[in-house]
Amino acid sequence: MKRKGLLFLVSIILILPILIFMQYFIAIGSYMSPNLVQTSLNKISWNLPEQGVYKILGNPIKKKDINSTTSIWIYASQGYFGIGGVSAYVVMKNNTLNFVEIKDSFDYGFYVCTKYKCGYTDQILYEKLIPKSVH
């Protein structure tokens, strides 16, 4: 019986720090552009010219050219191994905003901007994960 108790205690001592680390530092390696905030996203609209996107969201952290007319601008990337943080993509087509999606670490999109709608699809996640304004 003492051996089981000791084994349990050792397990707790070894596992507890890992669980604490995962809870508080799971988003290590994630990055979010400082202008990716609620006040900026409220100004986004479909078909916004490239200069308008720069003015509202600033420079993306990365750009990927898909073809000669389409590119993806990345404004937030998740932590290492795709864990923690959010990912935010702006799709530019013919130098205008064509699509925006912001997802949580479980690949759940909680903000979109399309021809038909720009705004959050999940208010709770939007308010929890996206800062209200630039600090």
Query: Mind spelling out the 3-state secondary structure of 57-81?
Result: HCCCCEEEECCCCEEEEEEEECCHH
Per residue in 86-118, pLDDT (tens digit) is: 899 999 999 999 999 999 888 889 999 999 999
Q: Does residue 92 lie in a domain region?
A: yes
In this prediction the pTM is 0.75
pLDDT score recorded for residue 41: 96
d(CA 23, CA 27): 9
User: Mean pLDDT over residues 4-32, rounded?
Assistant: 63
Q: Does residue 117 lie in a domain region?
A: yes
Is residue 97 within 8 A of residue 51, CB to CB? The reply is no
Phi first, then psi, for residue 119 (nearest 5°) are 160, 180
Q: Does residue 54 lie in a domain region?
A: yes
Whether 56 shows a pLDDT value over 50: the answer reads yes
**5 or 45, which is more confident?**
45
What is the span of the domain harbouring residue 83? 29-129
Q: What is the dihedral of CA 59, 113, 76, 124, to 10 degrees?
A: 140
DSSP secondary structure string for all residues of 13-41: HHHHHHHHHHHHHTTTT-EE-TT-SHHHH
Residue 24's pLDDT band (boundaries 50, 70, 90)?
very low
Q: Does residue 23 lie in a domain region?
A: no
Whether 46 shows a pLDDT value over 80: the answer reads yes
d(CA 119, CA 113): 6
**In this structure, what CATH number is given to the domain that contains residue 101?**
3.30.1450
User: Mean pLDDT over residues 70-83, rounded?
Assistant: 81
Question: Which residues, including other chains, have CB under 8 Å from residue 14's CB and lie 6 or more apart?
Answer: none
Total structural domains in the chain? 1
